[in-house]
Every structure is written in structure tokens, then in C-alpha cells.
Amino acid sequence: MRITISKENYLKAIAEAEAEGEAVIAATLKRWLRVSAPAVTMATRRLVRDGLIRVAPNGHITLTPAGADIANRVLYRHHLIERMLAEVFGMEWYKIHDEAEQMEHAISADFERLLDEKLGGAGPCPHGSPLQLETAAQRRERGLKPLGELEGAGVVEFVFERDRTLLEYLDQLGIRPRSYLESTARGIPAAPPSAIEHSLAAIAVTVGGEQKLIDPAAASRVWVRPV
């Protein structure tokens, strides 16, 4: 069986969407991968044929053990590449995910082994993700909460990385992994980027001594550890 880049992307997207608490159906993959509905139909047929996914009568898509194994290998390579780009080359944190998306399909097993030996596979990526995908419940179990629930001070530990517009928006506000901030009040924000849902109930946080207003939809993608 030939494992193409397209197959790897679909399998990884299924694993990531499940971790984010989404019920994976064809529309989910269309949105996550930004492809057409016919493309999703063709891809899922091939993945079913190859024994990599199952599609239930209600359209719910799940990985088979073989599909999960491939997804986990791609996720592991992605994790190592992100850490390499940050820790070795110092690339800006909000650019790293997109770069790793391209490189994760190209590295050899030998280079993957060298990265693992140099970096140690257990550290978090530049967006705060651990080596294994986490659900929201697992983040809460280790003491994290969404920024919108923060009362008082906290340190940013995780930011959803699959939205470049979101990452650039947060970076402009100074809200980055490992940044210290304090939740202060709610107000009315300036219009955020079009890709981020606008709401009047903005969350005010103090970052670096300055008060910033963050859209609640963006804040829900930021997880902090209260301090």
C-alpha cells in the first residue's frame, strides 16, 4: 500500500480533530483541510479501501489501528520539526506550524532519528503541545484552563496552532506560549481579523504591563496555567 502525502494529511487531520473534541465527518475534513466535498469523498473511499479508516452509517469517521499508527508517525515528525525550527533555527513561533506541515512528509527515517537524538522527543512544541495529542479534558486534568476562564494571573501554556491568522493576531497582542498575563475585565474590542469570530464581550488581559483586548473566540484557543 502506497502512503501518499494526501493520505497522511487526512489521517493526521482526523486524529487532531478528534483530540479537539470534534465528531469527524466529511464536512469536518473539508473544513480542516480546506478541500472540496468531492475531494473528501474520493479520499475517504481510498482510505476505507486501504483499511485506514472506518465510516459509520451516520457518516462518523474513525481511524483503524493501521490508520492511527500512520497518523501518529506523521504527528511525531511534525512535532520534531517544529522543535527544530524553534530551538535550532529560532523561527518565529507563529510561522513554524505551516513550515512543519510542508517538511513533515519529506524527512527520512534517519533524519527523524537524528532529530530525536538531538532534541529529545518529550519536550513541548513551540505552541505548547506535548508529544502526544491532548484533549481539552486532559489539559484540564493537568491544571490548565481556557484564557476566558482565567481569574487573576496565569502563564500561557498552549495555543491552537492550525490557524495562522489566529497565531499572528495573538502574537501582535503579545500573547504567546510562556507569556505571563493577568485577566482584568471585559470590554469592547477593535475588530479582530476576519478569520476570528467577532464578539462584543471582549476579554481584557494585561500583558507586559499593557492592557489588551482579546476576542473570546481567540481566547478559547489559548490555555493557561493559573499562578
Are the C-beta atoms of 145 and 226 separated by less than 8 Å? Answer: yes
Say which residue the cell 470590554 belongs to.
Answer: 187
Separation CA 117–CA 41 (nearest Å): 40
Residue 131: what pLDDT? 83
Among 92, 127, 162, identify where a domain stops.
Answer: 127
Are the C-beta atoms of 204 and 219 separated by less than 8 Å? Answer: no
% of the chain at pLDDT higher than 70: 92
Based on the fold, state whether residues 5 and 50 are members of the same structural domain: yes
pLDDT tens digits for range 142-175: 999 999 999 999 999 999 998 999 999 999 999 9
Say which residue the cell 512535532 belongs to.
Answer: 79
Q: Mean per-residue pLDDT for 87-116? A: 93
Residue 200: what pLDDT? 52
Based on the fold, state whether residues 121 and 163 are members of the same structural domain: no
Residue 130: what pLDDT? 86
Residue 123: what pLDDT? 81
Based on the fold, state whether residues 2 and 90 are members of the same structural domain: yes
pLDDT band at 13 (very low <50, low <70, confident <90, very high): very high
Based on the fold, state whether residues 188 and 111 are members of the same structural domain: no
- 0.75 surpassed by pTM: yes
Closest to 12 in 3D by CA, of 86, 96, 100 = 100
pLDDT band at 1 (very low <50, low <70, confident <90, very high): low
Residue 122: what pLDDT? 73
Based on the fold, state whether residues 41 and 143 are members of the same structural domain: no
Q: Please name the helix (run of DSSP H) or strand (run of DSSP E) that holds residue 172, with its range, or none.
A: helix 164-173
Separation CA 20–CA 133 (nearest Å): 9
Distances (CA, A) of 115 to 78, 96, 166: 11, 16, 28
Q: Mean per-residue pLDDT for 4-17? A: 95
Based on the fold, state whether residues 68 and 18 are members of the same structural domain: yes
Based on the fold, state whether residues 42 and 114 are members of the same structural domain: yes
Residue 186: what pLDDT? 53
Q: Please, what is the average pLDDT of the chain?
A: 90
